[in-house]
Structure 1
Amino acid sequence: MKTMPALPPDPTLDEIRAALGPVIPVHAGFDGWSDTALVRAAEQIGVDPGIARLALPDGAPGMIDAWFAAIDAEMAQRLPPELLGAMKIRDRITALVDSRIAIAAPNREALRRALAILAMPQNLALGVRLGWRAADVMWQLAGDVATDYNHYTKRTLLAGVYGATMLVLLDDQSEGLADTRDFLNRRIEGVMRFEKVKSQFLARRERMPSLSRFIGRLRYPAV
């Protein structure tokens, strides 16, 4: 098992939740996303199970949320700005998704169970939110500063790539998860092609003559 950092002497519920996030999936692979898994995780980090329940009062969805947040945090630690800054944008996104593969892979059974829970009708909104959050964190780490509709299209596309890649990961038996990484590279290539075509289209549209401007000149010719 991974050695987890010690909690401060008087941790807040948020700190307990963050500490439980990466530990629960170790047990959820065997016990499901259940109270048993939560209790075992609490015992592992030295927290009273009752306090752990206060930190994660929403049951399985809350525990899954905490795990995915822990993946976000570990991804950021593995790929600091000085490392990502030396890469091209495509390589940044690929590295970020690849790091999530590496982080989640040891707990694939927990991931399988988590995705099944998020696919339930009552949890669909949470699943969408968690996918969007992952994509948003990745684009922010990649240095994206778009605030127009590109902000949303980039995250929507990446959330789709990330979700599909995680599904491939579940049943990947190839050496070094080669099949999952090959799938990721092909999907990223598709996204990059789309972004290139979109940029070319927008550039052409900006150069197209404006009908409204032409009509305005007819009505109000330059002196």
Structure 2
Amino acid sequence: MTKAATDPRLKLLDAALPHVPFDGWTEVTFKAAIDESGVDPTVARAVCPRGAVDLAVAYHRQGDAAMLAALKSENLEDLRFRDRVARAVRLRLEQVQDKELVRRGTTLFALPQYAPDGAKLIWETCDAIWNALGDTSEDVNWYTKRATLGGVYSSTVLYWLGDDSEGHVRTWAFLDRRVDNVMQIEKLKAQVNQSPTLSKLMAGPNWLLSHIKAPSRFPKGDLPGSWTAPRD
């Protein structure tokens, strides 16, 4: 038996998806999902306390999982690293079957009360991409890589939502330009580090940055914004 057949959240999500393009990630959609999925209303409210908002979160994470599965079947060895990043972002978008599901989610997570959820989901996507590509950074670069990719990913999603070109060729060209912009920033950082004068000017900031460490990869889920109290 598949996980979707036993996990009440996934059963609710499957039932909700046909309604989202018309009613959005709303209470109307959530009630319809309960009625059509056969999930007990009490269980539904237990696994999704915020109703359709929690289903929207589950939908995004389901897309991340599909992207990671697709990446495993890709041969990236002959690609430049910047092309591997671009390919991962493209694969993430290619997992979407209906743009309206993402459009409705973008509208939802633009609301002030849900903006933190949206930011966290983007961070999770970028973290998943970097981890899948073998990132091992443990210093401030752990943060800057994910933050920079977050900007690339977010802007590409917005462009993609309005792109009606065949095969989304304009979106992929836009994505390549954004990745190239990031590469230019990395080149500038390298030039600063190689310049004796600029290195002296940056000595203080670099000293401070050297004390920033990536969050522990254990326990799982130890991401920025979360903290686990030490045990006695």
Superposition TM-score, scaled by structure 1 size: 0.77
Query: Aligned runs of 1:64-213 on 2, under 5 Å?
Result: 64-80=56-72, 83-104=75-96, 106-204=97-195
Give the C-alpha shift of residue 113 in structure 1: 1.4
Q: 1:58 aligns with which of 50, 56, 67?
A: 50
- Give distance in 2, aligned partners of 1:53 and 1:83: 42
Name the SS of the counterpart of 2:114 in structure 1: helix
Q: Which runs of 4+ in 1 moved over 6 A?
A: none
Q: 1:27 aligns with which of 19, 22, 31?
A: 19
Q: 1:6 aligns with which of 2, 6, 30?
A: 2
2:221 is matched with none
Alpha carbons of structure 1 residues 201 and 110: separation in structure 2 relative to 1, 3 Å: same
After superposition, the C-alpha distances for 1:100-128 in whole angstroms (9 at most, x for unaligned) are 11112x32112111111111111121111
Q: 2:70 is matched by which residue type in structure 1?
A: R
Query: Aligned runs of 1:44-55 on 2, under 5 Å?
Result: 47-50=38-41, 51-55=43-47
Alpha carbons of structure 1 residues 40 and 205: separation in structure 2 relative to 1, 3 Å: farther
Retained in 2: the 8 A contact 1:38–1:52?
no
Retained in 1: the 8 A contact 2:29–2:52?
no
Larger radius of gyration: 1
Retained in 2: the 8 A contact 1:72–1:134?
yes
Alpha carbons of structure 1 residues 183 and 18: separation in structure 2 relative to 1, 3 Å: same
Q: 1:98 is matched by which residue type in structure 2?
A: R
1:219 is matched with none
Alpha carbons of structure 1 residues 178 and 122: separation in structure 2 relative to 1, 3 Å: same
- Give distance in 2, aligned partners of 1:19 and 1:199: 49
Retained in 2: the 8 A contact 1:132–1:155?
yes
Alpha carbons of structure 1 residues 80 and 193: separation in structure 2 relative to 1, 3 Å: same
| Structure 1: runs of 5+ lacking an equivalent | 213-223
| Structure 2: runs of 5+ lacking an equivalent | 204-232
After superposition, the C-alpha distances for 1:80-114 in whole angstroms (9 at most, x for unaligned) are 1873455331121111100111112x321121111
Name the SS of the counterpart of 1:121 in structure 2: coil
Retained in 2: the 8 A contact 1:42–1:52?
yes
Name the SS of the counterpart of 2:138 in structure 1: coil
1:216 is matched with none
- Give distance in 2, aligned partners of 1:124 and 1:209: 39
- Give distance in 2, aligned partners of 1:19 and 1:83: 33
Higher relative helix content: 1
Superposition TM-score, scaled by structure 2 size: 0.74
Retained in 2: the 8 A contact 1:112–1:170?
yes
Give the C-alpha shift of residue 35 in structure 1: 3.9
In the comparison of the two structures, how many residue pairs are matched?
A: 201
